[in-house]
Amino acid sequence: MLRAARTLLATREPLDAEIGVSEMLGSWWGTRVPGLDVERLLGDGLVAHAQASGSAAGLALLTGISVLGTTVHQRELAEKGSATLIERGVARPAWADLLGHVRPVATYVYGTRFGDTADIICTFRYDGAEPGEHTGEHALIAVVDHNSGSVLRDAWVTAKVDRLLESCRSQAEDGDPLATFSQIRPEHARLLLEDAVEQTDRAVAADAVGPGVTDGSPAAHHALIRSRVRALPRRPRNQVRSTYSRDRRATLAARFLASDAAAELSDSGAASRCVDHIIAFGCDVDADRPLRVSPRKIEAFLLRWLPRRVILLPEEGEAMPHVLAAWIRWAGPRHGLPEVAVNATLDALWEATSAFTTSYPDVSASFGLPPEVLRRLLPDGDLSALPRRMFAFPLLTSDLLAESGEEFAPSTRAGRRALLRLDHFGEYDSPVEHKGKHSTGAPAGSAADPAATEEALDAHERLAERLWEGDPPQLWSAAERLLDHGYERPVVLRMLMEVVEDAEPGEDVAARLDAL
């Protein structure tokens, strides 16, 4: 790294220096090693190494990291290291005085009426330049992919700001009838970029992005993007972002089902459940834009998100394409799509329908579970939750509970308590007389868990609730790692409970789980 940092000494423009440092800091971005904070290990290690070198290249690198470091701790360490080397008489690079002193000029968003992606364009200039000196005006362009959870797909920087803006305007005004280009408030641009950075970090942590993100331009520019986001003004605290609450989603579904577009849907029950999934995808994946429809969004929903996340009953699978077609006709015009765009989206739907009907899995057959067991485990239809819920409540898959579904419903506290008591102690006295005593067949108490106590049962219940909800996501990831290493389920449960129960207020539980 220090050898590469020597090129910073030959750099005259602060923007070139920032891009160079950002590329270095992005070289390990997205790398995950269980039990290690890679960002802290390598980032802080690089700062220490640069300071220990006592060289001009080390000072140039520290100067860049003091502005572009991806954590406050990293930037503070680099700033202290820079001060130490300056006191020793090491020469500062020519661009050092301007680094970090950027001022936003204007912010824009370029895209299409379909809204699949948004090019967020932020222009900046350096403050403190001498009169008549080049101000270093430049534009940062970040491409956000809304069909993949609003993650960053591309990023670049250009000093040809006027040419870029003119190209976007001409495309929107004269070139492409579906292209859009508008100026937005810097506060809004910051909100969009902060959300994109957060969603990208989550996707990278979950290995849910392709290699083009972690080893491409988003990686090379992620430190620069974070730095520029900090330079943008924040929204006033009294401005609350509008989100789709459960009631608002239900109201939107009711409006659609009462519309003329939904009048020809024959199975109202299946239609209602299908539209709930359509709205959930639009809110949870597409940045609270359930009314947005496009060919790419329809394909992402129908062929990727739905098969991975939702269990559809046979009648729902049959109804889904027709409900989706009605939704496109109803929502498209309300989102501002012209008729030609609505028709293009419908064409994409019918092209994808064949693949959907032939590839949508029979989840009950795939997992060897009866439909009633799947309904117990997935009352919300969230297919991704199946493994962790089976781990939290394994007896839900048992024939033992075939006639006691309501008594052992995991959606109620009494049902969870009954399930865990049976799991914990090996038997459970039913309060319903005709059902008698349930037993796993193991001797009561000792074989199920020698250390079983009511206090341990309380902790088990709190852990099981977290696993059921997937909160935090690192909880199930840690359980999977421990199971892969050969630990038995009771041992894994105890290890997870120790982390969750022993955590102090404000302690980073996720970090402790990552360390398991």
Q: What pTM value is reported for the model? A: 0.74
What is the overall mean pLDDT for the chain? Answer: 84
Q: Do 514 and 474 meet the contact criterion of CB atoms below 8 Å apart?
A: yes
Mean pLDDT of the region 110-119: 95
Mean pLDDT lowest among 62-76, 188-202, 397-411: 397-411
Of the candidates 45, 74, 79, 65, the residue with the CA atom closest to the CA atom of residue 5: 65
Report the share of the chain in percent with pLDDT over 90. Answer: 46
The H-assigned helical ranges of 285-370 are 295-299, 306-309, 314-334, 339-359, 363-367
Q: Do 420 and 427 meet the contact criterion of CB atoms below 8 Å apart?
A: no
Instruction: Please report where in the chains the tokens 């030959």 appear, as a residue.
Output: 10
pLDDT tens for each residue of 197-245:
999 988 887 776 665 566 678 889 999 999 999 999 998 765 556 678 8
Mean pLDDT lowest among 22-31, 111-120, 348-357, 449-458: 449-458
For 18-42, give the secondary structure using H, E and C: HHHHHHHHCCCCCCCECCECHHHHH
pLDDT of 175 strictly over 50? yes
pLDDT of 372 strictly over 90? no
If pLDDT is split at 50, 70 and 90, which confidence band does 439 have? very low
Mean pLDDT lowest among 84-98, 138-152, 206-220, 379-393: 206-220
Mean pLDDT of the region 17-34: 87
Q: Determine the pLDDT at residue 364.
A: 58
Q: Determine the pLDDT at residue 260.
A: 95
- Preceding omega of 104 cis (within 30 degrees of 0): no
Mean pLDDT of the region 110-115: 95
**3-state DSSP assignment of residue 129:** coil
Q: Determine the pLDDT at residue 131.
A: 45
Q: Determine the pLDDT at residue 461.
A: 86
Mean pLDDT of the region 11-30: 90
pLDDT tens for each residue of 452-490:
467 778 888 889 889 988 888 889 988 988 888 888 888
Q: Determine the pLDDT at residue 447.
A: 41
If pLDDT is split at 50, 70 and 90, which confidence band does 373 have? confident
pLDDT tens for each residue of 253-266:
999 999 999 999 98
Q: Determine the pLDDT at residue 162.
A: 94
Q: Determine the pLDDT at residue 398.
A: 66
Q: Determine the pLDDT at residue 72.
A: 92
Higher pLDDT, 425 or 147: 147
pLDDT of 509 strictly over 90? no
Q: Determine the pLDDT at residue 73.
A: 92
Q: Determine the pLDDT at residue 376.
A: 77
Q: List, as own/partner pairs, every contact residues 174-177 make where C-beta atoms lie below 8 angstroms and the sequence separation is at least 24, other chains included.
A: 176/112, 177/338
